[in-house]
A = this chain, B = another copy of it.
Amino acid sequence: MADHSRPGEFDLIKKYLRPLASDESGAASLSDDAAVLPTKDGHRLVVTMDTLISGVHFFEFTPPHFIAAKCLRVNLSDLAAMGADPAYYTLSLSLPLNGEMTCDADWLDSFSQALAIEQDLYDIILVGGDTVSTPGPLSITITAFGWVKTGQEIVRSGATAGDLVYVSGVIGDAWLGLSAVRGGYPELEPASLELITERYHRPQPRLNLGHRLFGVANAAIDISDGLAQDLSHICKASNVSAIIQAGDIPLSGPARVLLEGDTHLINGLLSGGDDYELLFTVPPEWQQTVAGLAKELDLPLTHIGLIESSQQDHLVTILDEAGMKMNLTSTGYRHF
């Protein structure tokens, strides 16, 4: 645990964060300069890092337990996309000295309690980090570590012409949820509003799915920037193109209701971020395996398109229900 700090950092760490670090892991506790990670026979360590900032990735009024869940889960989603099992994380907290958001002892208490619940849920423990003061907004960086069997990681670059494009769960709810948190969609029923805001606040990292995709999927990515944008990342890395059917994109009940009222919403549903579903490509001969996996995991896995050989004029083509090319007004989630 690094020690350039704010007044009272040591007390804060001891009281709120140290209980999150267990020595059972074999990793050194938070009392040292650094943590020593164990090894695991036949496995390699996968590492990912994400920063979430107040006013950018969450609101100043977002309750600390949602912030805790999201900042950990966006990292776990990256591990899921690689087929890795979560194991450890480090946490850097930049706490605002002033500003509208007060990260006082109550805030830290709620935040660390929520992290403890997440740790139990995903079998991951805190092994180190840093706490600093900032004149800016609350900022949280997590580096997460997971184990993958040697050689069994799933990458973005394996997509092959002829692969079927699949997506897990439903798409666009988090984007709708973001609007709902801002007071949008008052016409929705309370249960529907709750569903989409929950999807925005608490993504479900598809770890069980990612864990099973090795040998089935040629390429995978988690959808953080929007389906269209993230599919283009696979295409770029794999030097292929993709064509998808907008009508095949799986949507939730509330999303269907809203789309009926405003067909332009399809833009946002396909390009809005924060879904944290997995997008993956599968050789056609594994189609039945994917269907079995969906049943076993009780998770929709929907065939939405096809990987083609690299096309000069596009990476990703989206066809509407009439078979016409759609032009998304935005091809990815952009903050600000």
A residues in contact (CB < 8 Å) with B: 2-7, 28, 31-39, 44-53, 55-57, 74-75, 78-79, 81-82, 84, 90-92, 94, 97, 127-130, 132-137, 139, 141, 143, 145-146, 148, 150, 153, 155-157, 221-222, 224-225, 229-230, 233, 236-237, 273-274, 332-336
Could you tell me if A84 and B34 are in contact, using CB atoms closer than 8 angstroms? yes
Contacts of A82 in B (CB 8 A): 32-34, 36
Show 22 A/B contacts (Cβ-Cβ < 8 Å), sorted by A. A3-B225, A4-B57, A4-B74, A4-B224, A7-B336, A33-B78, A33-B81, A33-B221, A34-B84, A36-B45, A36-B82, A36-B148, A38-B44, A51-B130, A55-B135, A56-B133, A57-B132, A132-B335, A134-B136, A136-B136, A136-B137, A141-B141
Which of B47, B97, B221 is close to A90, meaning CB atoms less than 8 Å apart? B47
Please name all residues of chain B whose beta carbon is closer than 8 Å to the beta carbon of A36 when the two chains form the complex.
44-47, 82, 148, 153
Are B57 and A34 closer than 8 Å at their CB atoms? Answer: no
Inter-chain contact B233/A3, CB cutoff 8 Å: yes
Known: A4-B273, A36-B47. 12 other contacts (CB 8 A): A3-B225, A4-B335, A6-B335, A31-B157, A31-B236, A32-B237, A33-B79, A39-B150, A47-B128, A51-B94, A51-B132, A56-B135
A164 to B178, CA, bound (A): 59
Q: A136 — which chain B residues lie within 8 A by C-beta?
A: 53, 134-137, 139
Partner pick for A155 among B7, B28, B129, B335, CB 8 A cutoff: B28
Which residues of chain B are within 8 angstroms of A28 by Cβ–Cβ distance?
A: 153, 155
Q: Which residues of B contact A74 (CB under 8 A)?
A: 2, 4
A35: chain B residues within 8 A (beta carbon): 46-48
Q: How far is the CA of A230 from the CA of B3 in the complex (A)?
A: 9
- Dominant secondary structure at the A interface: mixed
User: What residues of chain B lie closer than 8 Å to A135, measured between beta carbons?
Assistant: 53, 55-56, 136-137
C-alpha spacing A52/B49, complex, angstroms: 16
In whole Å, how far is A12's beta carbon from the nearest beta carbon of chain B? Answer: 13
CB pair A50–B224 under 8 Å, yes or no, is no
Smallest beta-carbon distance A89→chain B, Å: 10
Q: Bound state CA distance, A53 and B130, in angstroms?
A: 12
Chain B residues with Cβ under 8 A from A45's Cβ? 36-37, 39, 45
Rounded to whole Å, the gap between the CB of A303 and the closest CB of chain B is 22
| Residues of chain B within 8 A of A157, CB atoms compared | 31-32
Q: How far is the CB of A207 from chain B (nearest CB, A)?
A: 13
A4 to B58, CA, bound (A): 12
* Shortest CB distance A230–B (Å): 7
* B-side contacts of A130, CB under 8 Å: 49-51, 141
